Each structure stands twice: as structure tokens, then as C-alpha cells.
Structure 1
């Protein structure tokens, strides 16, 4: 461990090194393209470029492997939602497509991810779905989620919302993002990235634990079902986070940082 970060708000503090001015995602933003060119660029960037790079990066840099990925196999022909901890700016973009395999993974991202000049279209082609900035865009966003569910795609969500690099615990998160599996009655899986110490070098090994499925409880009201799903995912991620064996960055709450 050679770095310390002081935080004050587990729900809202952001520690991504990238400082990007977010674009406004309004009603004019097109979430679902139907043109053949857009479909080709999606295939090109995702299958020809991103998948090989992701595989090499994860394996050679982090000796990455999945644990318990078999639980997803029975649901590969249907839509499902995956929720992960947000602790790495690059790996968190690469891992969802590796989980979904040949099924497209559409990752819900902050507007900053599609705001980089020259890269916004690439992120979109890779499956990035930016959060809306206003009510007009929200209608299109919800329509996009519904479309992807009907197409039997995978929707990936980082409920912690903000990146805390190499954080080894699970931050509390709200249940709002669990409205989607409740609304469409689709299974949910959690994936928890943990960091393991190597015998040599400072770079950790990353293991991704996959757990589930968790199903919306149709006997409950939608808010209650949403909360239940959130708690199931959160508790499982907390359990898996105990597998971390190395702390690259130490996080200390400001009010606790006394001499």
C-alpha cells in the first residue's frame, strides 16, 4: 500500500482520475440506432477490437479469472441484469462483455463516459448507455432499456455509481437501479471484483465472483421487491469482498483521520 485517500461521503465521492466535462444527455440523444452502419460499428468495436484487447489486458496484467460463472449459463438465452462493484476504470468496462459472452452487454454509464471528444461514439458502440440529464431524455432511456430486454440482451449496472480505485469493501448504494429487473421481472446476478496479493510485484490478481440468480419477489409491492433485490445483491457482494487479500489504496473517512 503506497497511497491514502480521504473521503467524506460514500454515496457521492468520486475518485476517478479522469476529469471530464459531461455533455448534456437531452431528448435529442439517440439511444437505439437502427442503421446498418451503426450495427456494423457496434460489431467492429465490440467483437473485433474490444474483446481481444479486454482478454489480453485482464489476463496478462491482472491474471484475471471468473469464479462461479456457471450460474449464468441457464439464463443465457434471456435478458438479465448484472450488478458489480465499481473499483477500476478500465476493468469495469471490460468485465461485463466478458461475462455476457456472445450476448451484447449494455453498460449504464455516467454522461462523462460519452463526453470524450473522438471517443464518445466508440463508448456508445461498445454498449455504453449514458444516464439521462432531463425528463425528455429519461423517456428515451427507459425505452432503450425496454428494447434491450425485449432483445434478450444483458444490462450491466454499477449501483455504487462512482469509481473508488482498488477499494476492497462494498459501499452502500440505493435501490433505484433495481427498478428495472422488478419492472420486467428478469433475473439478477451480482459480480464482485476482488484483489489478491501476488508473490512478486505490486500488481494484484483480480478474481470476479458471480452470484445469483436473484429474482424479483412478485408477492411484494414494487418498492419492497426493489429493496429486497438490492439487499440480496449487497449482502452477497459484502460476503465476496472478504476474499480481498491486498489493499492497494487505503481509504480513510475524514472525520476518522485524527492523529
Structure 2
């Protein structure tokens, strides 16, 4: 896997990672606290999320990327319930910010790789911004699942990147498993998807990012639990694939190794 002249050669759509951040992830064990109940932690969540992150993110997305959200009104169909958001994973910074605006004004939490809470300084802030790191063992998995349940009961939005690995500026939807679709099936809440699309701008080499929102999606209750997860996954994959056809700017070209000439 290498990057040269805006070309990335890959071999595995499911497992290759191109974050290029060189961060050593901390271990998420049984002592990692996912849910804080103190007034201080609630204040820091409000402070970093609403007072600091939102204004900065707004300026960054608008000025740098001319960001626009299309069809966000469908989120209102959740009618005050918790819901799950699924998006394509194509930008280190923007992927951390965009779910906030898709779900606004509902508070959103994002399931992330432990790298996101392992960065110097910023890693101590990202949990207050809503980062929920994936667990590393059985004990932390119990705490992780309790956190998901807690946020659902609090009627929060929970964002997931089912592709799991970052492929910067990738213009298609990579295959992903149905594993992360267990949550909306289990809690019987709606799911939505958002697809970030890169398009050309007249006077800039920087693409415009447009986020298309679709949903709500529900699994077919006539199916088994496993089949419901697959059904929901397929519906969302299909919607995202259709939206991805709107990309018209390829910042980085991805070439499968076996297809090199």
C-alpha cells in the first residue's frame, strides 16, 4: 500500500487502511469509562461539543469545502427517537464533523477506532465530542454495549462508518459487513445513511463536499435477526452506492494491485 502522485494501490477493500496518521492506539480495556454521569463531564460535553466544536466545524466545512447537506429533512422522520447514521469513510477530519450537522439539533455520538482517542491533547477531548472507541476485550465490550444502550435510551443519534477504514476522497462505496447493523435491529430504531460526494469547483482544486442523506430504513420484521441485519445493510449499501454516482472529481486514484500493468 503506497501513495505516489495521488495514486493509492490497494489489495483488500475490506481491510486496507489509508489514514496515514501513524498513531499508536491505546488499549481500550475494562477500565475505560464510556459513560460519565457527573455534572462536570456533562458540562465539558456541552462546552467542547456545542460551544467550541460546532462553530469551528461550521467555519471549516463552509470555507474549506463549501459543504452542503441535501435532504437532511428526512431526519425529522425519526420523530424524536434515537437513530443510527451510516456514512462512507473518506476524510479524516470531515468524517468527525459531518454527523453533527446531519443530526442537528440532536446530540450525536460516533463509534470510532481507538486511534481517535489516542492523539496527544486532542485525544483527551474527543470523548467529550462524542467519540465511542471500539473495545479490545470482553470486559470493555460489555461497557461498550452498555454505552450504546444508554445513548439509545437518551434518544441520541449514533453514527457508524461501516467501511471501518479511511480511504481519503474515495468516490465509490466499498463493501462492508452487516455486523454494525445489529444495533438498529436490536433496539428497533430507524437508520439513515449519509453519502459524502466530491465535485469540482470552478476556481479551486479543492473539491466541494456535498452530503446526501437518505432514509429512514427499517429491517423486514418477517426475517430472522441475522437476515434483518443483512436486509438493512443491503438497503443502505444500495442507497449509498446510488448517491456515490454523483461524484465527478477524483482527487486520489485507487488502483487494485492485481490490476496494475
TM-score normalised over the length of structure 1: 0.98
After superposition, the Cα gap between the structure-2 partners of 1:181 and 1:94, relative to the gap in structure 1 and judged at 3 Å, is: same
In the alignment, is the contact (CA less than 8 A) between 2:77 and 2:216 conserved in 1?
no
The whole-number CA distance in structure 2 between the counterparts of 1:228 and 1:67 is 25
Q: Provide structure 2 residue ranges, at least 5 long, that are not aligned to the other structure.
A: none
Gaps of 5+ in 1: none
TM-score, with structure 2 as normaliser:
0.97
Partner of 1:234: 237
Moved more, 212-221 or 148-157: 212-221
Relative distance call for 1:151 and 1:130 in structure 2 (3 A) is same
From 134, 146, 151, the counterpart of 2:149 = 146
- The yes-or-no answer on 1:252 pairing with 2:249 is no
Residue number among 45, 51, 56 corresponding to 1:53 in the alignment: 56
- Matched residue, 1:243: 246
Distance 2:125 2:147 in 1: 18
Confirm whether residue 17 of structure 1 aligns to residue 20 of structure 2: yes
RMSD: 1.1
* C-alpha distance in 2 between matches for 1:254 and 1:125: 40
Equivalent residue for 1:65, pick from 41, 45, 68: 68
SS in 1 for 2:203: coil
- Of 215, 220, 223 in structure 2, the residue corresponding to residue 212 of structure 1 is 215
Equivalent position of 1:202 in the other structure: 205
CA deviation after TM superposition for structure 1 residue 104, in Å: 1.1
| Alignment-derived partner of residue 84 in structure 1 | 87
Q: Aligned partners of 1:10, 1:76: CA distance in 2, in Å? A: 36
Q: Residues 112-133 of structure 1: CA distance to partner in whole angstroms, max 9, x if unpaired?
A: 1111122222100000000000
Inter-partner Cα distance in structure 1 for 2:69 and 2:148: 26
Aligned to 1:188: 191
Does structure 2 retain, via aligned residues, the 8 Å contact 1:106–1:156? yes
